[in-house]
């Protein structure tokens, strides 16, 4: 008999909302600090894990940016990225679209090229040895100015052969999508896939503004769209993908518990929801742990879990042929599991 945990474990899937810097586990953080002759943000793994108790997005970001300071060399970024992709492959992630935050590093004197080359080396190795495909999405930090973001966009244009998309992350409060309207217009002209965090700590109005002003291909989080039924209908009509991260939402207080998460209601409303891990080193689980926690707390059935995986491939930046290959594999897997239930 196939249990839900077994089904999730073997489920082919894509991950579309994953911050590479958010995969920096405490043991690697300490290792890189020592290698780079730096003082670590925390004295040991236990102290780091104790510090990972957040009250909101900003309290998380304060620790997140402190921790990224240990990432200095091309090899650091290669090691970080490869460690995530190895975990992803072990959880049957076939394709991953990876966010990275170059401004968090260039502000410390680390060259954009250093960050990108390290990530790309790991991506090439994972494709060759793990059969995991990747795309890179460069995120702009919304608590900084649009002008600063434009400088990063100029770098992304130079490296367009490696960078597929432009995203927007960091503190949502006080930094509405309209702040980056010109940047996203320029990114759209350059042909980048466009995505932005909205409706995580911000309201449904932030989701609407991101959709209408930034002309996004995807919305990251977006859970507060459910506060506006008219917006939900519009998102369904346009089939706009939402990259939801349940463990992150609970850890940051967006929902008080997994049982209160609106993921199931989003699915039942017809929204194109995908399920992702966000910053797994900080939030207690990678993608399979997110699937399992949501399934058990919300009573998701096998069909709904399969739909989340289907949506992940449909919402990806893969070409139609690649998408169909993954969807065919997924359909075959679901049929085999159905026969065993």
CA atoms of 276 and 126, how far apart (whole Å): 19
Crossing angle between the packed helical segments 181-189 and 146-158, to the nearest 10 degrees = 10
Q: Tell me which of 200, 201, 209, 310 is the catalytic residue.
A: 200
CA atoms of 93 and 95, how far apart (whole Å): 6
Following DSSP, what letter does each residue of 290-320 receive, concatenated?
Answer: HHHHHHHHHT--HHHHHHHHHHHHHTSS--H
Residue 223 DSSP class: G
CA atoms of 257 and 260, how far apart (whole Å): 5
Crossing angle between the packed helical segments 74-90 and 26-35, to the nearest 10 degrees = 160
74 φψ region: left (φ > 0), alpha (ψ -120 to 50), beta (else): alpha
3-state SS class at 94: strand
CA atoms of 128 and 130, how far apart (whole Å): 6
Residue 200 catalytic?
yes
CA atoms of 60 and 57, how far apart (whole Å): 5
Sign (positive or negative) of CA dihedral 193, 277, 268, 341: positive
CA atoms of 171 and 323, how far apart (whole Å): 33
User: Phi/psi at 110 (nearest 5 deg)?
Assistant: -85, 130
Confirm if 176 and 206 have CB atoms less than 8 A apart: yes
3-state SS class at 93: strand
Residues constituting the chain:
341
CA atoms of 58 and 61, how far apart (whole Å): 5
As annotated, the active-site residues are 200
């Amino acid at each position: 008999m196939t249990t839900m945990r077994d089904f999730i474990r073997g489920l082919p899937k894509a991950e579309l909302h994953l911050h590479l810097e958010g995969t920096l586990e405490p043991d690697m953080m300490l290792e890189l600090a020592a290698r780079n002759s730096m003082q670590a943000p925390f004295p040991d793994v236990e102290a780091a894990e104790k510090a990972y108790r957040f009250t909101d997005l900003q309290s998380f970001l304060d620790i997140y940016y402190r921790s990224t300071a240990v990432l200095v060399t091309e090899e650091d970024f290669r090691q970080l990225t490869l460690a995530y992709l190895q975990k992803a492959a072990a959880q049957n992630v076939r394709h991953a679209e990876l966010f990275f935050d170059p401004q968090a590093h260039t502000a410390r004197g680390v060259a954009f090229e250093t960050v990108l080359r390290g990530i790309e080396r790991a991506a090439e190795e994972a494709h060759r040895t793990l059969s995991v495909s990747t795309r890179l999405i460069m995120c702009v930090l919304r608590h900084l100015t649009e002008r600063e973001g434009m400088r990063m966009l100029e770098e992304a244009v130079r490296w367009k052969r490696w960078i597929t998309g432009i995203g927007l992350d960091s503190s949502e409060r006080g930094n509405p999508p309209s702040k980056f309207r010109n940047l996203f217009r320029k990114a759209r002209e350059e042909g980048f896939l466009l995505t932005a965090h909205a409706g995580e700590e911000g309201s449904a109005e932030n989701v609407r503004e991101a959709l209408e002003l930034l002309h996004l291909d995807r919305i990251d989080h977006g859970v507060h769209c459910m506060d506006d039924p008219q917006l939900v209908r519009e998102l369904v009509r346009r089939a706009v993908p939402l990259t939801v991260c349940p463990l992150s939402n609970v850890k940051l207080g967006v929902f008080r518990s997994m049982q209160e998460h609106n993921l199931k209601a989003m699915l039942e409303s017809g929204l194109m929801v995908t399920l992702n891990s966000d910053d797994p080193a900080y939030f207690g689980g990678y993608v399979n742990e997110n699937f399992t926690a949501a399934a058990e707390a919300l009573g998701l059935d096998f069909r709904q879990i399969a739909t989340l995986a289907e949506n992940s491939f449909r919402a990806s930046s893969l070409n139609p042929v690649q998408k169909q290959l993954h969807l065919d594999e997924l359909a075959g897997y679901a049929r085999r599991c159905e026969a065993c239930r």
